[in-house]
Amino acid sequence: MSIEILLATGSDATQQRLAHMLAEAENLTLAHVAADGASLEDTLSRSTGINVVVIDEALEGGRGHAVARAVGASHPLVGVVLLVESAGPEQFAAAMESGARSVISESSSLNEIVSRIEAVAQWAVAARSAVTSELTGGRGGRVVAVAGAKGGVGATSVAMLVAQSLTATRTVSLIDFDLQSGDLAAYAGVHTRRSIVDLVDIAGEMSGRVLRETSYDLESGLRLLPAPNDGERAEEMTADAARAVVNALRYQFDVSVIDVGSHLDDATALILEYADVALLVATPDLPALRAARRTLALWERLAVRLPTTVDVVLNRRSSRSEVQESLAHRIVDAPVSLVIPDGGAPFQSAMNTATILTTATPAHAAAARFVTILDKARDDGASESAFALAGAGAVASTPPAGDRRSTRRARRGDDSGQSAVELPLVFAFGLLVFLVCAQCVVWGAGFLLARNAAQEGARTIGIARSYDAASVDQARADALGELSGPWADGASVDVGPSAVQVQVVAPTVVPGLHLTSAATAAVFAEPR
């Protein structure tokens, strides 16, 4: 198998020399060349087959080590090889500190370059295989995204109820990703100094210790990662940081429930895309249900998530509500997977006193049924593929935030398979319509011919002014004389003293169809 290499250097001489040497190797291919760190990151984000990156230490005026460190943080499963002027103990130590897996020098031989790049490539392949195997083996945690169809539908309370219902048998984290107006900490009765946006600057060094230092323990056994107290800090969150948080949560908790609010940006879109289960919360009123329908259509257009992979939650439903599950299903055009009743005064009191996680209400009992949705998502296998994408392939190949919308459009499947199935059906239907129309034209022509023949027979009787055997035979012969070919076959003429009727059988165009055309003409005596 050929190993694709990305070379980052600003020197044309270095590029040409390494290109000539790699051209002599059988299984090494110089796939891309980047002139600076920004181009390097962009190429890594767009190319999925690169396992090895060779970085010139002289890149960007001697910032090669810093670039290597940045690549290692953002793409930890890509092997980094540092190209130095001369290889010695000091160079090796500096390269290891910057995250490089190996070092080659400008004086290295072809065999030495090939062997070291192959070793790094083998490590990269093995690391990706190990991560993918662990993720798909079901040992990673699961992510549940809770979104509101619009503000005020209770997405935050649903997220808290769902998270609290899972704490009996799982380790659960609750994350407030409604960064501008999230208030999970106040609902839980916790005063916070740290928030999720504090993780943005250290996204490349995300670990369990960092999550523990940033999150807060709640009485019910949950671990809360709150939103910032200052809403303007929401602008600090990036898609890369959101991805790092999601991946870290998978390793630290069995289930992570993320409240993303009702606002969609690149970071929340990434969470919705990578989540194993996505809940869309709406209340039993027409404005909220119409907003839910628009939200599902928006997610589908932007390729964030298909409507079939979203579970609709009907919150605050009561027996007095005019809109019930069946009507909500028709309005949203998606099934209602979970119904949470109106908790009434006890629930409102628990919300106001920040005791919702320790209070038992009918709403809590209904939210406990969410475990069936979580188990169903695992059985269907859809979450496993999404998890593998988030944990393995997406680490090395997720596009930057600016390109996310175009990438989502590129991920949409085309309609070629559907067209291949529909084309024969459309052709058959069109052919049937054509045959029916042709048969109708033939039947109409038969009616005109029958009328002309009847008129000719009636004229013969009128001229004869008698109704005897000779005049009847002559009238019948004259009528049949007006018909020829297939129209004469099977035609019948009924001659009476006052009228002549002619009936013809229309030729068959549509198989199995039998039509006849009949016409009658009155007999009028001609004056002598």
User: Token pair 């239907």 is at which residue?
Assistant: 429
Give the mean pLDDT of 384-413. Answer: 39
Residue 164, pLDDT > 60, answer yes
> CA 169, CA 412: separation in Å to the nearest integer?
38
In a domain, 527, yes or no: no
Q: Order of strands, edge to edge, in the sheet holding 223-225?
A: 216-217, 223-225, 172-176, 255-261, 142-148, 277-282, 310-317, 336-341
List the CATH number of the domain containing 73.
3.40.50.2300
pLDDT tier at 22, thresholds 50, 70, 90: confident
Please check whether residues 52 and 107 belong to one and the same domain. Answer: yes
- Range of weakest confidence among 36-45, 162-171, 444-453: 444-453
Please check whether residues 130 and 149 belong to one and the same domain. Answer: no
For residue 176, the surrounding DSSP H or E stretch is: strand 172-176
Please check whether residues 355 and 369 belong to one and the same domain. Answer: yes
Residue pair 99/74 in contact (Cβ under 8 Å)? The answer is no
State percent of the chain over pLDDT 70.
85
- Range of weakest confidence among 100-109, 137-146, 323-332: 137-146
pLDDT digits (tens, 9 = 90+) for 91-132: 888 888 888 888 888 888 888 888 888 888 888 887 776 665
Please check whether residues 90 and 43 belong to one and the same domain. Answer: yes
Please check whether residues 342 and 291 belong to one and the same domain. Answer: yes
Average pLDDT value over all residues in the chain:
80
pLDDT tier at 521, thresholds 50, 70, 90: low
**Beta partners for residue 224, in sequence order:** 174, 216
Confidence at residue 500, expressed as pLDDT on a 0 to 100 scale: 78
Of 84, 115, 135, the domain-final residue: 135
State percent of the chain over pLDDT 90.
18
Give, to the nearest 10 degrees, the angle between helix 325-332 and helix 286-301: 40
Residue 174, pLDDT > 60, answer yes
> CA 267, CA 241: separation in Å to the nearest integer?
8
Please check whether residues 30 and 103 belong to one and the same domain. Answer: yes
- Residues in Cβ contact with 393 at an 8 Å cutoff, skipping those fewer than 6 apart: 48, 132
Residue pair 463/443 in contact (Cβ under 8 Å)? The answer is no
Please check whether residues 246 and 383 belong to one and the same domain. Answer: yes
Confidence at residue 410, expressed as pLDDT on a 0 to 100 scale: 42
Of 135, 156, 179, the domain-final residue: 135
Confidence at residue 30, expressed as pLDDT on a 0 to 100 scale: 85
Give the mean pLDDT of 63-73. Answer: 87
Please check whether residues 236 and 285 belong to one and the same domain. Answer: yes
Residue 46, pLDDT > 60, answer yes
Please check whether residues 307 and 424 belong to one and the same domain. Answer: no
Q: Please report, for the chain, how many H helices and E strands are present, in that order.
A: 21, 16
pLDDT digits (tens, 9 = 90+) for 484-493: 777 777 778 8
pLDDT tier at 391, thresholds 50, 70, 90: very low
Closest-CA residue to 222 (of 183, 178, 167):
167
Please check whether residues 272 and 293 belong to one and the same domain. Answer: yes
User: Angle at the Cα of 217 (from 216 to 221), degrees rounded to 5?
Assistant: 145
Give me the domain span that covers residue 338.
140-401
Residue pair 524/462 in contact (Cβ under 8 Å)? The answer is yes
In a domain, 412, yes or no: no
Please check whether residues 283 and 180 belong to one and the same domain. Answer: yes
Confidence at residue 205, expressed as pLDDT on a 0 to 100 scale: 72
Confidence at residue 404, expressed as pLDDT on a 0 to 100 scale: 44
Please check whether residues 383 and 504 belong to one and the same domain. Answer: no
Give the mean pLDDT of 360-382. Answer: 77
